Amino acid sequence: MSAAQGLSAEAVVAERTESRRRISTRRRILVTLGVATLTFLFFAPLFNLAATSVKDPDQVYAAGAPLYPARPKQVEVDGKDRPVVRVPQADGTFMEMVLVKPGRQESVLADPADVSKTIVWQGSWRTLENAWEFSATLNNYGEVWKLLDYPRLLLNTIIIAVVGTIGTVVSCVLVAYGFARLKFPGRGKLFQVMVATIFIPGTVTLIPTYMLFLNLGWVNTWLPLLVPTFLANAFDVFLIRQYMMTIPREHDEAAQIEGAGPWQILRDVIIPQSWPVIIAVTVFHFVYSWNDYFGPLIYLSTKPELQTLGIGLSRFSDQYNARVGFPEAATIMTLAIPVVLFILFQRYFVRGVVVTGVDK
Amino acid sequence: MEQREAQWGFLFISPWIIGLAVFYAFPIVASLLLTFFDASLTGAERNFTFIGLDNWIRFFNDPMAWKALGVTVRFTLLTLPVGIFVPLAVALVLNSKALVAPGLFRVLWFLPYVIPFVAGIIGWLGVIGQNGPLNTLIELFGVQDAPLWTNDPGLIYPALVLMGIWGIGSAIVVYLSGLGGVPTELYEAAMVDGAGWWASLRHITLPMITPVIFYNLILGVAGSLQYFLVPQVLNGGNGNPEGSTLFFNIYLFKSFFTYQDPSYGATLAWVLFLITLGLSLILFGTQKRWVYYAGGDR
C-alpha cells in the first residue's frame, strides 16, 4: 500500500481496477474452466442416465466396457462374425486385430482392413481385451413404454397437471386481486395468516385431511389432488399479489371513473398487465404437479390405472431388481417435459423464485 | 361505497378463506384433538374414545419413535450445512466478475430443480451404484472393493445428501439475488482501505446477505426435519441399512397408513411440529445477534 500513499482515493480505486483488468484474462479462463468442470459434475447423473438408457444391458456387465454406449466390435471373416481385440504392442500402444482363431498358446489374428493378412500371435487369447465401437439402441425406451403403460401414465399426469393449473391460476388470481386492490376489514391480518400457512408442515394437517377425503369417498380418485387447487394456495397468491401491487393505481382509478366495477377492472386493467406473473404461476404449478409424488402416493396407491409418471417411475428406483437400461429410459421419459418447459420459460421461473424468496 | 368494496373483497378472497377453513383450520384442530383420542381410520367400525394423555405418554416411552427422531436429527445436522453453504459457494462463484457467460451457468445450475426428485434419485444412484462411474473412478485409484453406498450405514447419509443435491437451485437463485443487492460502493470503499478478496467476503458480502442465509436456514431446518420422500422412494421406508433410514416421518407414515393408527400418527406429527416451531423460535431469537437488515428493523 505504500506506493499508493499520498494519492487520492479515486486514483487508488482506478489503479486497483486497472490491476484487476490486467490479470483478468487469465483469471477469467481459470474461473470459467473451474465452473464448467463443476457444472459438468453436477450434470453427471444426467449424462450417465442418457448413456445408460441407450446401452445394451450386456455392455453394463461386461468388463472393460467404455462409459459411452457401445458394443463389442466385430468383423466378418469367411461369413462369420469374429471379435476385434486390442493387441498390446512393444511400444506400449494397442493395435486392433480380428481374432480369427483363438487358442491357449497361440492365436490367429487378422488385419481388420484386409482379413486375408493373418499373423500368428503367441499367448492366450483370453488375455486380450475386446475393442468397442459406438452403438446406441432405443429398445429400452420401447420396452419401458409397454412395461410402464407409459401412454396412460402420461395422460393421467397431463390431465392432473392441466386441471390443477387451471384451478390454481383462476383461484389465485382472484384471491391475489382481492388482497392487492380491495379494502376490507382485517385484510392485513388475513394476509399475514396466509403467509404463515406457508410454514405449517404438511404432516400436521395430513391425517385429518386424509380422513376427510376418505369419508367423502374421494380416496382412489383424482379429486383430492384437483379440488384443493381451486381453493388457492398461499405461495402463488403471494407471488401474484406482489406483482399486482406494482401496477400503478391510476389505471384502476381511470377505469373506475368510467364506471367499471372490481370485476371489470380485474378483467380489463389488472389481468392484461399481469401476464408475466400469470405465466410464471402457470409453469410453476404445472411443474409442481408433474413432480408431485406425495399426493398420488397416498391417494392413488391402489389404483395403478389412475397413477402418475412419478409413481410409475418409482417402481424402478430399486436399481438392483430392475433390468439395466429400463430405469434410465423411464427416467429420461419422465424428466423430459419439465426440462423442456423450463428451458422455454426459464426467465419466469427464476423471477418467481426471487419474488417469493426475497420479498417475503 | 366502502361497504360494497369490502363485500367484493371478501368475495374475491373467498376461495382462499374456504381453503383455510377446510385444509388448515379444521385439520390442525382435528389433529390436535386426535392426539387425545383413540380413533380408528375407517368408518366401518367407528371408534372414538377419549384417552387423555395416553398417546403422548406412549410417545415418551416409545423407543422406536426416539430412535427415528435421532435419525432425523443426525441427518439434519449433516444436510443442513450442505444445504446452506453449498448453494452459497455456488452463488458466490456464479456471481464472480471473472466468469464468462454467467447467465448460461445460472440457468444450468437452476435447471435440475425442475427435474422430478424420483428421477434425481435414479440418476444419482446410477452414478454411485455398484457399476457406476464413481466406483469405476475409485477402483482406478487402486481400491479393490468399491463401496455399496446405499447399503452401508456409514455412507448412506452422504448418499442421501447427494441424491438431494439437484434441489439446491432455488437456494442459489435466492442467494444470487441477495448478492446482487449488495451496494457496489461498499466494495469500492473496501478496496480503498486495501481489503482483498477474503476480507471483502468476510466483512461485506457475508454480513450483507445474512438475511438470505437466515431465510434458507429457517426453510432448511423445517425441510430436513420433515425429510421423508427420498428414503420412502429409495427403500419403501424399510429403514435399511440397519435402521439408518428410519426417519421420523417414515415412522409417522407407517403408524398411520400401515398400522392404521391415526391418533398416534397425529401425536407424532404434533411432536415434530412443536420441535420445528421451537427451533424456529430459537433461531428467530438469535436473529438480532447475526442477521443484518440494511433497511433497519423489519
- pLDDT tens string A198-232: 889 899 999 999 999 999 999 999 999 999 999 99
With b for 16 or more beta-carbon neighbours within 10 A and e for fewer, the B132-141 pattern comes to bbbbeebeee
Cβ of B10 and A178 within 8 Å? yes
A294 vs A357, more confident: A294
- What is the predicted pLDDT for the residue at A290? 93
Pairs of residues, one from chain A and one from chain B, whose beta carbons lie less than 8 Å apart: 275
Cβ of B170 and A357 within 8 Å? yes
A2 band by pLDDT with thresholds 50, 70 and 90: very low
In one-letter notation, the amino acid at residue A61 is Y
Count of other CB atoms within 10 angstroms of residue A141? 18
Chain B neighbors of A219, CB-CB under 8 A = none
CB contact B149 to A (< 8 Å): no
Contact (CB, 8 A) for A274 and A286: no
- What is the predicted pLDDT for the residue at A17? 60
DSSP state of A131: P
Cβ of B124 and A214 within 8 Å? no
Of B26, B100, B117, the CB nearest to A28: B100
- What is the predicted pLDDT for the residue at A356? 62
CB contact B199 to A (< 8 Å): no
- DSSP lists the bridge partners of residue A87 as A95
Cβ of B8 and A39 within 8 Å? no
- What is the predicted pLDDT for the residue at B214? 92
A13 vs A235, more confident: A235
Whole-prediction pTM? 0.87
Mean pLDDT of A5-33: 68
Q: What is the CATH number of the domain that holds B97?
A: 1.10.3720.10
Query: What digits encode the pLDDT tens for the residues B247-268?
Result: 999 999 999 998 889 999 999 9
Of A49, A175, A293, the CB nearest to B12: A175
B41 band by pLDDT with thresholds 50, 70 and 90: low
Instruction: Quote the cell numbers at residue A243.
Output: 406483482
pLDDT of A185 over the 60 cut: yes
Residue A96 has φ and ψ, to the nearest 5°, of -85, 125
pLDDT of A178 over the 50 cut: yes
pLDDT of B235 over the 70 cut: yes
DSSP state of A7: S
Cβ of A45 and B126 within 8 Å? yes
Chain B neighbors of A212, CB-CB under 8 A = 22, 26-27
Q: Flag whether B88 is in a domain.
A: yes
- What is the predicted pLDDT for the residue at B178? 87
Nearest CA in chain A to B251: A203
- What is the predicted pLDDT for the residue at B123? 93
Query: What digits encode the pLDDT tens for the residues B63-85?
Result: 999 999 999 999 999 999 999 99
Contact (CB, 8 A) for A89 and A46: no
Enumerate the CATH 1.10.3720.10 domain ranges in chain A, comma separated.
140-358
Cβ of A184 and B174 within 8 Å? no
Mean pLDDT of A137-145: 90
Where is A122: in which H helix or E strand?
strand A114-122
- What is the predicted pLDDT for the residue at A317? 75
Query: What digits encode the pLDDT tens for the residues A119-137?
Result: 888 878 888 888 888 888 8
Distance (Å, rounded) from C-alpha A8 to C-alpha A2? 13
Q: Flag whether B120 is in a domain.
A: yes
Range of the domain at B111: 58-290
Highest mean pLDDT among A94-108, B95-109, B244-258: B244-258
Q: Flag whether B251 is in a domain.
A: yes
Chain A neighbors of B13, CB-CB under 8 A = 174-175, 178-179, 190
Chain A neighbors of B16, CB-CB under 8 A = 171, 175, 194, 231-232, 234, 237
DSSP state of A200: S
A109 band by pLDDT with thresholds 50, 70 and 90: confident
Contact (CB, 8 A) for B200 and B187: yes
B297 band by pLDDT with thresholds 50, 70 and 90: very low
- What is the predicted pLDDT for the residue at A360? 41
- What is the predicted pLDDT for the residue at B31? 95
Q: A101: distance to nearest CA of chain B, Å?
A: 32
Nearest CA in chain B to A208: B27
Mean pLDDT of B95-101: 89
- What is the predicted pLDDT for the residue at B9? 95
Restricting to B residues 57-76, those with a Cβ less than 8 Å away from any Cβ of A are none
Preceding omega of B133 cis (within 30 degrees of 0): no
- What is the predicted pLDDT for the residue at B132? 81
Mean pLDDT of B190-206: 88
pLDDT of A357 over the 60 cut: no
Number of domains in chain B: 1
Q: B192: distance to nearest CA of chain A, Å?
A: 6
In one-letter notation, the amino acid at residue A224 is P
Q: A95: distance to nearest CA of chain B, Å?
A: 23
The average confidence (pLDDT) of chain B is: 90
Mean pLDDT of A33-48: 95
- What is the predicted pLDDT for the residue at A68? 86
Question: How far is residue B145 CA from its own chain's centroid?
Answer: 33
Distance (Å, rounded) from C-alpha B169 to C-alpha B167? 6
Distance (Å, rounded) from C-alpha B227 to C-alpha B239? 13
Of A12, A48, A212, the CB nearest to B123: A48
Contact (CB, 8 A) for B256 and B250: no
Query: What digits encode the pLDDT tens for the residues A247-268?
Result: 899 988 999 999 999 999 999 9
Environment class of B287 (CB within 10 Å of its CB; exposed 0-12, middle 13-18, buried 19+): middle
Cβ of B170 and A327 within 8 Å? no
Q: By percentage, how much of chain B surpasses pLDDT 70?
A: 96
Q: A11: distance to nearest CA of chain B, Å?
A: 9
Q: By percentage, how much of chain B surpasses pLDDT 90?
A: 59
Cβ of B114 and A291 within 8 Å? yes
DSSP per position, A1-40: -GGGTTS-HHHHHHHHHHHHHHHHHHHHHHHHHHHHHHHH
Where is A88: in which H helix or E strand?
strand A80-88
pLDDT of A346 over the 70 cut: yes
Task: Give the ipTM of the model, two decimals please.
Answer: 0.90
- What is the predicted pLDDT for the residue at A5? 46
- What is the predicted pLDDT for the residue at A19? 54
Contacts of A260 (CB under 8 A, 6+ apart): A268, A269
| Residue of A207, A227, A326 to mutate when probing chain B, most B C-beta within 10 A | A207
A116 band by pLDDT with thresholds 50, 70 and 90: confident
Strands (E), chain B: 37-39, 48-50
pLDDT of A341 over the 50 cut: yes
Cβ of B174 and A357 within 8 Å? yes
Cβ of B118 and A206 within 8 Å? no
pLDDT of A56 over the 70 cut: yes
DSSP state of B129: S
Q: Flag whether B5 is in a domain.
A: no
Count of other CB atoms within 10 angstroms of residue A217? 10
Chain A neighbors of B114, CB-CB under 8 A = 287, 291, 338-339, 341-342, 349
Q: Which fold has domain A140-358?
A: MetI-like fold (1.10.3720)
Q: A70: distance to nearest CA of chain B, Å?
A: 16
